[in-house]
Chain A
Amino acid sequence: MAEDLEQQVRLSQQGNRRAFEQLVGIFQKQVFFTVLRVVQDRHMADDVTQEVFIKAYRALPALQEPAYFKTWLLRIAMNRAIDQQRRSSREREQVFFFEEEPAGAGTECESLDRAPLAELGTALQEALASLPQKLRRVMALSLDGKLSHEEAGRILGCPAGTVKSRLHHARRQLREKLKRYL
C-alpha cells in the first residue's frame, strides 16, 4: 500500500493529473481538518486547503523522497495555515462540537456527560486557543491521532522528543483550563 502511494506520488511528479487527484482524495480531509484546527474558520480552511494542494502540485518535482509525501504536504499545510491565521483579523467561529452520545454509550465520565454540549465545545476551543503557539501547533497535529511523534516532528521541524514534551505541556495546561469539566 505504501508502495502504491509512492507510485502515485512519482506519477504526480511527472505531471499525471489523475494520480495527483487521487492523492488529493486520500489526504484532503487530513489537510483540511489540520488547517481548520489552526485557523478555526471553515471557509478559510477550505481556501487554504485548496492552495496547499495547488502549491504542492507545483512544488512536487522538488520532493526528493516520495515516501515522505504526507509529512511534506502537512508541513506546507501547517505553514500556510499559520501564515493565514496571523494575517486574518476575522473572528474565529466555533469549530469544535460535541454530540449527544448514543443511549447506553456513556463515557464513564459523569462530569463530561453532564456538561452542556455547546458549552463544552466553546470551552475546549478557548482552552486550545489560549495555549502558546508552539503547543497549539503540536495539538493541531496530534488531535488527529494519525501521526507519530516522528512524523509530527518532521512537520514542525523538531525532534520527536520535543513533540512529546510539548504534548505533555499542552495536555497539562488543558487539564488545568478544563478542570471543571474533568
Chain B
Amino acid sequence: MDCQEANLWLDSMNHGDLTEPDSSELEGHLAKCSQCSLERDQARRLDVLLERASLGHFPEGFFDRQRQSVMARLGPELEWHAPPCSLLFLVMVIAGYFGGSIGPFMDSVLSFKSDLGAAWASVDEIAPLYGLLLLLAFGAVARDPDPEPVPVEVSQ
C-alpha cells in the first residue's frame, strides 16, 4: 500500500468502515509511515472539531413558533372530505329529486326562472326536508375532517 492509497482509507478507518484485510494493511503502512500517521491523527481531530461545532442556541419556543407559522401560512383551506353521512344525505336528495317530490322546484331553479313565486308554488310539502338534507350534506362535507393522529416519535 502506498501513501496515496493509505490516504484514501484514512476516513473509512476512523469511521470504523474499514474491514479486513484492508485495515491490517493500512495499520501496517501507518506503523512505518510517519506522514500518513500524522494525517490519520489530523483526520481524527477534524472529526472531533466537526462534532463539537454547534449551530448555536435558539430561544425557547423558536421551533414552536416556526411550526405554528408554517401551519398558519398554509391558510384556512376548506377541506372537502366526504364522510359516509354526507354521502347518504346526498343520495337521499337525489332520490327525492328523481322521485318527483322536489323535482319541479329544482327544475325551476336550474332553468333560472326568476319568478320565485312560481318556483315556490311548485314545492310540495316535503321539499324543505330535502333542502335541510342538502344543507346537512354540505355541512358535513365541509367540516374539519382530521382525525386525531397517533403521536409518532422519531429520533432526530
CA distance A175 to B149 in the complex (A): 47
- How far does the alpha carbon of A182 sit from the alpha carbon of B40 in the complex, in Å? 11
Of A16-24, A71-79, A83-91, the one with at least 4 CB within 8 A of chain B: A16-24
- Count residues of chain B with CB under 8 A from any CB of chain A: 40
User: Are B150 and A36 in contact, with the CB atoms below 8 A?
Assistant: no
A18 touches B148 (CB 8 A): yes
Given contacts A30-B156, A98-B52, A107-B52, A16 and B149 within 8 Å (CB-CB): yes
- Asked if A22 contacts B70 (CB within 8 A), the reply is no
Chain B contacts for A80, CB-based, 8 A: none
Chain B's nearest CB lies how many Å from the CB of A96?
A: 5
Closest residue of chain A to B50, judged by CB? Answer: A143
* Least distance between A107 CB and chain B CB atoms (Å): 5
Q: Are A178 and B49 in contact (CB under 8 A)?
A: yes
Inter-chain contact A111/B45, CB cutoff 8 Å: yes
Docked complex Cα distance between A53 and B73 (Å): 10
Q: Which of A7, A8, A28, A124 contacts B67 (CB 8 A)?
A: A28
Q: Mark A135-160, 1 if CB is under 8 A from B, else 0.
A: 00000000101100000000000000
The answer, yes or no, to whether A121 is at the interface (CB within 8 Å) is yes
Tell me if A50 is interfacial: C-beta within 8 Å of chain B: yes
Q: Does A168 contact B (CB under 8 A)?
A: yes
> Once the chains bind, are B146 and A17 in contact (CB under 8 Å)?
yes
Q: Interface residues of A, CB < 8 Å — how many?
A: 57
A28 to chain B: which residues have CB within 8 Å? 63, 66-67, 70
Residues of B within 8 A of A145 (CB): 51
Q: Mark A19-63, 1 if CB is under 8 A from B, else 0.
A: 111101110111011001100000000100110011001000000
Interface of A is mostly: helix
Contact pick for A46, options B66, B74, B147, B151, CB 8 Å: B66
A18, B146: Cβ atoms closer than 8 Å = yes
B70, A53: Cβ atoms closer than 8 Å: yes
In the complex, A53→B68 CA distance in Å? Answer: 12
Chain A CB within 8 A of B48 CB: yes
What A residues does B42 contact at CB under 8 A? Answer: 175, 179, 182
Task: Give me the interface of A with B, judged by CB distance under 8 Å.
Answer: 1, 4-5, 7-8, 11, 14-22, 24-26, 28-30, 32-33, 36-37, 46, 49-50, 53-54, 57, 95-99, 101, 107, 109, 111-112, 120-121, 124, 143, 145-146, 167-168, 171-172, 174-175, 178-179, 181-182
Extra 17 A-B pairs, beta carbons < 8 Å, given A17-B71, A26-B156, A53-B70? A1-B152, A11-B149, A19-B146, A20-B74, A21-B71, A22-B152, A24-B67, A36-B55, A37-B55, A97-B56, A101-B52, A112-B48, A121-B53, A146-B156, A171-B11, A178-B49, A182-B42
- Using a CB–CB distance below 8 Å, which chain B residues touch chain A? 7-8, 11, 39, 41-43, 45-46, 48-56, 63, 66-67, 69-71, 73-74, 77, 79, 81, 145-154, 156
